[in-house]
Structure 1
Amino acid sequence: MIAAAVPDLPAGESPDLILVPATPAERIASIKLNSVAWKGPLDVETYIEREDHLMQQRLTRDGLTCWILVDRNEPVGGRTILSSCESYRKKALMAHDGHVEDVATHGVGSVYCRPEFRGKGYAKRMFEELRLKLDTWEMEEESRRKSLFTVLFSDIGKKFYAQFGWRPFLSSHMSLPAMESAVDGGDVTRDLFAKDVQQTVCSEAVLAKLRDQMRVASLKSSKAKIAILPDFDHFVWHWAREEFFAEKLLPERSPPVVKGAGNDQARVYCAWNRNFGETPEDNVLYILRWVYDDPTSPAEEQAIIKAMASILRRAQHEAHEWNMSKVEFWNPTPLLQKAMTLVDPKAELVHREKDSIASLRWTGSEDGLGKDVEWWLNEKYAWC
């Protein structure tokens, strides 16, 4: 499975190549191969332990598939992994013509081809096969028996995955440096723990409001609207990742328990996680999701912007406490951009061209749902 030298490698267009779910042993082999790209500050065995830990989370324990491109002529247990990736089954919403459906989709991640195998067309072949498999993979219980869309986040720019139908969408962010900020005595911003995030960011009431907003929006535009469901399982997965790193890298510290911040008066809340990278500069506190109501007056707008700014300052402080280099959040709305100018007038909106390019493959046109689609809640929580 991990041969140092493999003679007579097949061509990428060979009819003998097949994309199949990996056996448990092949999954571990694929993790060892891609560890050179993604293990970060962990050693290989700890990286495997982390991947096993994440696979047991509610978000992924029943919906993660490790895919490998192999030669059909090689025996199971002795197949050479030519390229690999993972798919994650996710809950989603789709709104069209005044109706909202609970649907299922897949996120794609961990795409890898070892350096000595690159240039032979294996990644291209893998995605030619994958796009067809994911349309119906694990969709037997769904009402449509298929997926209407799938998502991935490209770290190799916008062109490669677009040729297989994963079109790049808005991929911007804003960031602030970590900072030990003073506490304002009049500030009503409060820390959010896991149970608070569940109540304020992804409660049934919050999700019901999202469904209604998508329904109303679908009456005003012919484009279908989709969103990865921002349920509690998504946040728990991200927190399991950060807590694993904290335990392994900072065993002398208690686990991180502050999972976000909020302002009850303005009804503005966010959930975050800490990403531990290979160097201190790679440590980032990501705001995973923002929740707030659209203002109905100028006074409400100013109150919301002020609350957002206070929450951002609290995030800066939390980032400093955990040796993060910065705070970052994706695709800020105009209100969030105004809040950023209160915190740092020099903060800029960055449009990414290579890393974490949000990409979506839409097949809803085959079901009469139109040729184009709007991606709602294109925020960090949906990253995979």
Structure 2
Amino acid sequence: MVSTYNLSELILIEATPEQVIITNRNSFVEWGAPHLTLEEYLSRERLLSSLPFTSKNFTVWILVPRSTPETTTNILSSCETFIRPALVQPSQKLYCYSIASVFTPPEHRKNGYASYMMEMLGKKLKENFQGVGFSFLYSDIGTEFYSRLGWKVFGHKEIQFNIENENENLNDITSDIANAIPLSWTDVEDLTKYDCSLIENEIVVSSAKYGAVVLPTFECFEWLFARTNGDDQIIGFVIWTYNFQEEILQILRFRSLNTNVTKSLIKRAKLYASHYNFKKITVWNPNLKLFTDTIIIEGGELVERTKSLPSLAWYNNDKGFNDDVEWILNENYAWC
């Protein structure tokens, strides 16, 4: 028989290494099976926690009875946070918290545990940590749950390039992308540093009073890759990962100077997607000024996402969250 608790009997704490293993075992049914075995899933989580992105910046939080905080059998709900470098405009370098893997074991659901955990977590992140401008997460359960707890949903459009029935000759694609070259691992590290330096100078807050930017650092790409297993002037680049489960090439970060560069990079992505017989390429919240012609020419479609909805809680002023915040570069690289 499963015990239930009054919310006043519960506390939110940082998990011990032993409790972390239990949370991973619990969440295997949600994010591991059936594509991974339990041991493969646990091994992957150990690897991810050892990478630079997480080794010093990662915390697993658990909701447990106040009377038995050391428990490994009554972990009622859990989540993870990552500390990440960010910009808060105008002109502040701060940190933000990325929240992930919110999970309640099936036997403990419908008791309000996840809501209470997130309410307590929001207070901890806002009140107990200095130099944090905001936190954010991606919701797979719609817009209401996290919104009422303080995380406002932001734009969640994406361009989908469907290539399942692509009849374009691959040789023609190759001739069109002669100036688009593959990147080495060292190139990616150098390029992300270059990208971050450009972002600091480029960010312009449109009609909003504040701008929130999660910086696309090399460490975050390294973590994402581990999880998913001519001219010297750089006028554009694209970084992607492969989602083999859904047969999608997911573009994580997209920088382009103009629509011609955009077309060339999308053609390159198509070439690699075709190599794996993937059905789709996705680009989250793109700058439509750089994509308008490309969407038409390359057969893309602008759609509203129904999963991984970006949601942000603002901590950078005394008034709390307001509508004067713009999430800039709300792209796929920030997901975790």
Q: Same fold (TM over 0.5)?
A: yes
2:144 is paired with a residue whose SS is coil
5 Å-filtered alignment, 1:216-255, equals 217-218=204-205, 223-243=209-229
Segments of structure 1 that go 5 or more residues without pairing to the other structure are: 140-144, 244-261, 294-303
Match of 1:308 among 247, 262, 275: 262
1:285 aligns with 2:249: yes
Change (3 A) 1:226 1:309: same
Identity %: 33
Q: Which residue of 1 aligns with 2:242?
A: 274
Question: What letter is aligned with 2:324?
Answer: D
Work out the CA distance in 2 between the residues paired with 1:170 and 1:136: 27
**C-alpha displacement of 1:189:** 1.9
User: Aligned partner of 1:289: which letter?
Assistant: R
Q: Which residue in the other structure is 2:134 paired with?
A: 149
Specify the alignment match of 2:86 in structure 1: 92
Structure-to-structure mapping, 1:89-168, within 5 angstroms? 89-96=83-90, 100-137=91-128, 139=129, 145-168=130-153
Matches within 5 A, 1:329-344: 329-334=283-288, 335-344=290-299
Is this contact kept in 1: 2:250–2:282, CA < 8 A? yes
Q: 1:366 maps to what in 2? A: 318
Q: Separation in 2 of the partners of 1:75 and 1:132?
A: 20
2:186 maps to 195
Please give the TM-score of this superposition, normalised by the length of structure 2: 0.90
Residue 36 of structure 1 is matched in structure 2 by 29
Number of residues paired by the alignment? Answer: 328
Paired residue for 1:255? none
Q: Secondary structure at the match of 1:34?
A: helix
Q: 1:330 to 1:223 in 2, by over 3 A?
A: same
The equivalent of 1:15 in structure 2 is 8
Q: Where in structure 2 are the equivalents of 1:292-303 lying within 5 Å?
A: 292-293=256-257
**Number of the residue aligned with 1:348:** 301
Question: RMSD of the TM alignment (CA)?
Answer: 2.3
In the superposition, the TM-score normalised over structure 1's length comes to 0.79
2:309 corresponds to = 357
1:176 Cα deviation from its structure 2 partner: 1.9
Distance in 2, matches of 1:263 and 1:16, equals: 64
Distance in structure 2 (CA, Å) of the matches to 1:60 and 1:268: 29
| Structure 1 segments (4+ residues) deviating >4 Å | 262-266, 367-371
Task: Say if 1:325 and 1:56 are closer, same or farther in 2 by CA, change over 3 A.
Answer: farther
Distance 1:263 1:311 in 2: 16
One-letter amino acid of the counterpart of residue 31, structure 2: W
The alpha carbon displacement at 1:363 in A equals 2.1
Q: After TM superposition, give the deviation of residue 326 of structure 1 in Å.
A: 1.8
Shift of 1:62: 0.6
